[in-house]
Structure 1
Amino acid sequence: MAKIAGLAVGMSLALGAVATPAGAQTIADLQAQINALLAQLAALQGGSTTTTTACSFTRSLTMGASGADVTCLQQYLQGTGHFTFSGGATGYFGSITKSAVAAWQAANGVSPAVGYFGPVSQARYSAIAGTTGGTTTGGTTTGGITTPGVEGTITVTKNPSPASGVKLYEGDSMKTVLGIKLEAKTSDIKVERIRLDLDETGDTASQDSAFYNKAVQKIYIMDGSTVLASSDLNSSTVVEESNEISITLAGMSFIVPKNTIKVLTVAMDAKSSWDSTYNADSWTVGLATDGVRGVDGAGVNQYGPSAAGVFTNSFTTEDDILDSATLAISLNSSTPNTQQVICELGTDNDECDNLEVAKFDFKAEKDNITVTDFVLDIVRAGDTVATATTAYIYDGSTLVGSASVAGTTLALMTATFSDIDWVVPSNTTRTLSVRFDIDDAALAADTFVASTDADDTTAENSVGNTVTATG
């Protein structure tokens, strides 16, 4: 009920302004206060959001004006929730439009807010329209602010992914090292710049300038795979104060919609090479106090994090990833258990064809690994009547290679698989199944043990350099 009474008083004072010119300044002040109440009422009542075309104004608009520019203004004010006439845009600037303009002026800091849409209001409109249209960043168009005139806040925290401890290898491109979580409240927030602190925290360098002199070539702010901003790192782009360095990445127009969370990431290009003394050295990248600056719907700058909320992630520098590639060999957990087998499954009643005797896991890290040659050691014990004639290795149901079993003695034999070129993709584990053809089984107990070790495997990385297996 109080808000309805406020509207009635507003109309009375507006009429009084026409009848009493001598009190125009006082009345204008009161009118501004009333229009501020109108703006609050409009915000409480809400309004539908519509997409409008940017208006072009070549004259001031006031009571009695009409035309396409008035229609465009009314449509814009419909979108902001200030023009609520049930008949929609009419193209005529009457008392309803004047009240709507006054409410918009009060909400957007235009004084006096008396409903006259002149140069000051039009300049303010142009500034806001620049934030309500779509913006293009990194080749991708992002939506504009949909909450014009509304103040908001932004909360900036560390995203759990990626975690600290990322390894940056020589020549790495766009390696993600830090996640920034952004939460907008009350209004959309347009993030325009991010300032990062860069530190060398290991024992190798004595100055943080080693960050860009020795380790990192370029830095990015990313929205998924989209580059929002980037900068080379050198003495011209960083700011150095008291041996502390920072970099500011500006020119962004990234929208965080009201009451939603978005995550941006910091990525880096490593130097193509560095001194071996920097291998395993540690570094940090973090968000400075007020490192994120955004603009809300009212055009007010919003910052985060506070001094108490600053955060960092660490990473280490390592050799060229190819030179760090590894291959580990181990016994698969589902390898067949020791058991008695009756050999009558082959072409004759004294044979076992393709008898599985072992499974081995091959784990590649940091690069694709090609196993070129593989040697299987076979030990025969017992009555030494049956013989293993041929050995096979399978990847699932796919035959990788076969080899004749050659014996140095009755008890010690080997099977050499040459030029198999079996690839284990980077950071994966693949399994080889070992199978034998057993001949000449008799009413006697013979045992066969298949084994291998790191020295029995020849492997190389994706550029042909030798990789020494372990296991």
Structure 2
Amino acid sequence: MRAKRIAIALGLVSALTAVGFVLAQTPSACSGVSFTRNLKQGMTGSDVKCLQALLNQSADTQVASSGVGSSGNETTYFGSLTKAAVVKFQEKYASEVLAPLGLTQGTGFVGSLTRAKLNALLSGVTPSPSPSPSPTATPSSGREGTIIVNQAASPASGVVVYEGDVGQGVIGITVKAQNSEITVQRILLSFGSTKVYDYFSNLYVYDGSSVVASTPLNSSTVYKSSGTYYLQISGLNVRVPEGQEKTLTIKVDVNSSISRDLTLPATVTIAVGQNGVRGVDGAGVDQYGPSLSFSNSVSVRSTLASNAALALSTDSNTPLPRNYGVGTLGQAYGVEVLRFRLRASYDDVKVTDIENLTVSGSALTST
């Protein structure tokens, strides 16, 4: 009987471990560790070592089979082997960490959904099919609903921004709640192949005149996958009452001094991909939109001062060519010979000198 019980227990642990929901033993490298920050290649820390140890718990996600990074030889450095193992881990749990983001392939970037899965494994808690890493405000209706996400009319595509601009709107997102109130939790933005932090320093999400989220833009907050740069904004908790619509506006601060290795003006495309917005309905079910992606293009230009221009043109009231009479001493005073106009563009221009002004003519004698 005792042997049979042991066999049943071992079989149960084996079955649970196979689906990845239970760790037979928490790795020593994970003692006192939880995943509270995003991780990517090049970073170091005890959480990286724990990450490697967790990945090494399964043969299909192990960092290395022997040597550095293998089980018992984990390090605190997030290198290329760790990134490749994270990709395999994400694809193993694709329905939980990739599908909610509209992705089908692992990125190697340990973001909020991947962290939620890792923390669930550490705690021994069976995660829900689509874990929510950020606090969720619980809607009160108790009914399932639908989220409808579209591009707002303003800001329009083609908006022009300049170095040093602050709080410039670049794209708007309308969110409508049907059949239930919806609490918007996450927005995933993409920027194509453009390294967005070369041009913008900070990004904000506005609900009307209120800032509901803000983040610096740098190599730690923006990640790259398959040649595309992404920014995930989580923990929004923006409530949209049933039957109503809200507009969320994305605004940016423009770097005050963009590298002169980059050509200006430059175009930065900001997109909301399919299912790039996640909300929670009254029944606590995740709802996603839009059904089709949309984007805006932003023209980034150098400072107004460096763009300043002064245009000169002849005034329509300038005197016509004619003969001028002079006195017996050959002098005349206050004779208007030219009238011109100056027009400043992009900035105020102070005129200090007029150079290369040539007046020519010929003397006539009376007859």
- If the length of structure 2 is used for normalisation, what is the TM-score? 0.50
Match of 1:291 among 266, 276, 298: 276
- Whole-angstrom distance in 1 between the partners of 2:149 and 2:346: 45
CA contact (8 A) 2:185 2:237 kept: yes
RMSD value, Cα? 3.8
* In the alignment, structure 1 residue 167 sits paired with structure 2 residue 146: no
Secondary structure (helix, strand or coil) at the match of 1:235 reads coil
Amino acid of the structure 2 residue aligned with 1:247: L
Give the alignment of 1:140-179 within 5 angstroms.
145=139, 147-179=140-172
2:336 alignment counterpart: 413
1:8 alignment counterpart: none
* In the alignment, structure 1 residue 274 sits paired with structure 2 residue 258: yes
Give the alignment of 1:76-91 within 5 angstroms.
none
1:186 alignment counterpart: 179
> Can you give the 5+ residue segments of structure 1 that lack an aligned partner in the other structure?
1-129, 133-144, 201-207, 336-357, 359-376, 385-407, 415-449
2:119 alignment counterpart: none
Structure number with the bigger relative contact order (C-alpha 8 A, sep ≥ 6) is 2
CA change 1:292–1:274 in 2 (3 A) is same
> Can you give the 5+ residue segments of structure 2 that lack an aligned partner in the other structure?
1-135, 326-330, 355-367
2:209 alignment counterpart: 225
Give CA-to-partner distance per residue, 1:325-381, whole Å, 9 cap, x none.
45668899xx9xxxxxxxxxxxxxxxxxxxxxx7xxxxxxxxxxxxxxxxxx55597
CA contact (8 A) 1:380 1:412 kept: no
1:251 alignment counterpart: 235
1:443 alignment counterpart: none
- Whole-angstrom distance in 1 between the partners of 2:344 and 2:153: 40
- Whole-angstrom distance in 2 between the partners of 1:281 and 1:211: 11
1:322 alignment counterpart: 305
Secondary structure (helix, strand or coil) at the match of 1:229 reads strand
- Whole-angstrom distance in 2 between the partners of 1:184 and 1:269: 30
Secondary structure (helix, strand or coil) at the match of 2:161 reads strand
- Whole-angstrom distance in 1 between the partners of 2:345 and 2:266: 29
Amino acid of the structure 2 residue aligned with 1:185: Q
Q: Which structure shows the higher strand fraction?
A: 1
Deviation at 1:323, TM superposition (A): 2.3
CA contact (8 A) 2:310 2:344 kept: no
Amino acid of the structure 1 residue aligned with 2:141: P
Deviation at 1:461, TM superposition (A): 4.1
CA contact (8 A) 2:272 2:295 kept: yes
2:200 alignment counterpart: 216
- How many equivalent residue pairs? 215
Secondary structure (helix, strand or coil) at the match of 2:196 reads helix
Secondary structure (helix, strand or coil) at the match of 1:323 reads helix
Amino acid of the structure 1 residue aligned with 2:224: E
Percent identity over the alignment? 36
CA change 1:149–1:327 in 2 (3 A) is farther
Deviation at 1:197, TM superposition (A): 0.4
1:263 alignment counterpart: 247
CA change 1:330–1:184 in 2 (3 A) is farther
1:14 alignment counterpart: none
Deviation at 1:285, TM superposition (A): 0.6
Deviation at 1:235, TM superposition (A): 1.5
CA contact (8 A) 1:221 1:230 kept: yes
CA contact (8 A) 1:170 1:273 kept: yes
Give CA-to-partner distance per residue, 1:240-287, whole Å, 9 cap, x none.
112211011111111112112211111111111123442012110110
- Whole-angstrom distance in 2 between the partners of 1:238 and 1:152: 31
Give CA-to-partner distance per residue, 1:169-224, whole Å, 9 cap, x none.
11111111111111111111111111100124xxxxxxx3x321x21111111123
* In the alignment, structure 1 residue 195 sits paired with structure 2 residue 188: yes
Secondary structure (helix, strand or coil) at the match of 1:196 reads strand
* In the alignment, structure 1 residue 240 sits paired with structure 2 residue 224: yes
- Whole-angstrom distance in 1 between the partners of 2:206 and 2:293: 20
CA contact (8 A) 1:256 1:262 kept: yes
Secondary structure (helix, strand or coil) at the match of 1:150 reads coil
Bigger Rg over Cα: 1
Secondary structure (helix, strand or coil) at the match of 1:298 reads coil
- Whole-angstrom distance in 2 between the partners of 1:330 and 1:258: 60
- Whole-angstrom distance in 2 between the partners of 1:243 and 1:160: 29
Deviation at 1:228, TM superposition (A): 1.0
Secondary structure (helix, strand or coil) at the match of 2:192 reads strand
- Whole-angstrom distance in 2 between the partners of 1:187 and 1:260: 10
CA change 1:459–1:318 in 2 (3 A) is closer
CA change 1:176–1:329 in 2 (3 A) is farther
CA change 1:224–1:378 in 2 (3 A) is farther
CA contact (8 A) 2:166 2:252 kept: yes
- If the length of structure 1 is used for normalisation, what is the TM-score? 0.40
Give CA-to-partner distance per residue, 1:101-146, whole Å, 9 cap, x none.
xxxxxxxxxxxxxxxxxxxxxxxxxxxxx846xxxxxxxxxxxx4x
CA contact (8 A) 1:278 1:318 kept: no
CA change 1:198–1:451 in 2 (3 A) is same
Deviation at 1:413, TM superposition (A): 0.7
CA contact (8 A) 1:177 1:266 kept: yes
* In the alignment, structure 1 residue 453 sits paired with structure 2 residue 308: no
